[in-house]
Structure 1
């Protein structure tokens, strides 16, 4: 089965929206919480050595989530026509991914974070020939993980850490020197469960 067809099939099997609160039912969701819209690209790079998911390691000097592994993406700006447009704009800015290399498969279920973002993940393929160009102000590194690794539910584990005085559980899927966790791992786990 072609990668695009497989991704479409996984997308159609995706569950409903997810949240950082899924594994933390005892955490109180603030009743007056206002969610800010964001979008990320979940880019599957079609390479000769097999499909690879492109991830970034955020710059260590950033105020929010420094040094964490993430998808290219960010806040949806008023000038963005859609979450897809935001994800493509951010991917161009962060890793030099031109829209000409991207074929959008579709929207994954929305993910809500404890930091009050409503993230729309956009599943897409990236054509061969793309050469990542990390924006040094935002991205320390661009790396890839084989799609097959991230589609294996057995690779994921549930870990926890103290956050604002309370233990918080989250998904993690380590890969080599990279620690993929939190919202990024949760979004990937949706595909693995598909």
Structure 2
């Protein structure tokens, strides 16, 4: 599966947003299993922003960062103890905007399947992985209708071992699956999907 993702992302032209807002980056770390796992985190319940939510390792761009890829790798090392030299970066996905106005750039990288993580207790309550095959099956928990700037964006939400994966994280995952794996996950609700309504993304 990783071979397919690599080949498809080489020809993918990611969406760019105007640079009119603060910037951030996240790392979509995929293990080199035959069925790759994606690394996700549960943000600390004590944080003032996005507390308890499921997210990729990542954070805000710092003026000392050389570029947005550096941001993603630096944040991954700070949050989950993933050293940059263990990440084989294979591509970028489209930029998205968070509900707090951050312009977020997702990067896709492959990591060894036997690597061990260390959660930064100041930022995270948990680190876990989910097989891509779970998301490809599209057994979604719900379809979220997210209202942003008077427009509706329909995003799948998944439940995995009690974790609800939704909002910006789910949107980026859906783009990875569609563009990297050819999944054709519909971004509009089907009759069998429960629709939840939100005022903005996560």
Shorter-chain TM-score tier: 0.7 to 0.9
Q: Residue 36 of structure 1 aligns with which residue?
A: 22
Please state how far the C-alpha of 1:34 moved relative to its aligned partner.
Answer: 4.5
Q: Residue 194 of structure 2 aligns with which residue?
A: none
Q: d(CA) in 2 for partners of 1:61 and 1:68?
A: 11
Q: Residue 11 of structure 1 aligns with which residue?
A: 9
Q: d(CA) in 2 for partners of 1:39 and 1:61?
A: 22
For structure 1, which runs of at least 5 residues remain unmatched after alignment? 20-32
Cα contact 1:151–1:191 (8 A) shared by 2: no
Please state how far the C-alpha of 1:152 moved relative to its aligned partner.
Answer: 4.0
Worse-superposed segment, 5-14 or 76-85:
5-14
Which one has more relative contact order, counting CA pairs under 8 Å at least 6 apart? 1
Query: Which of 66, 76, 79 matches 1:91?
Result: 76
Q: Residues 156 and 46 from structure 1, CA distance in 2 versus in 1: closer, same or farther, beyond 3 angstroms?
A: farther
Q: Residue 126 of structure 1 aligns with which residue?
A: 111
Cα contact 1:158–1:170 (8 A) shared by 2: yes
Question: What stretches of structure 1 move > 6 A for 4+ residues in a row?
Answer: none
TM-score after normalising by structure 1: 0.79
TM-score after normalising by structure 2: 0.76
Q: Residue 128 of structure 2 aligns with which residue?
A: 143
Q: Tell me, what secondary structure is at the counterpart of 2:27?
A: strand
Cα contact 1:10–1:191 (8 A) shared by 2: no
For structure 2, which runs of at least 5 residues remain unmatched after alignment? 180-202
Q: Residue 31 of structure 2 aligns with which residue?
A: 45
Q: d(CA) in 1 for partners of 2:146 and 2:178?
A: 24
What is the aligned length?
A: 176
The CA RMSD measured in Å over matched residues stands at 2.8
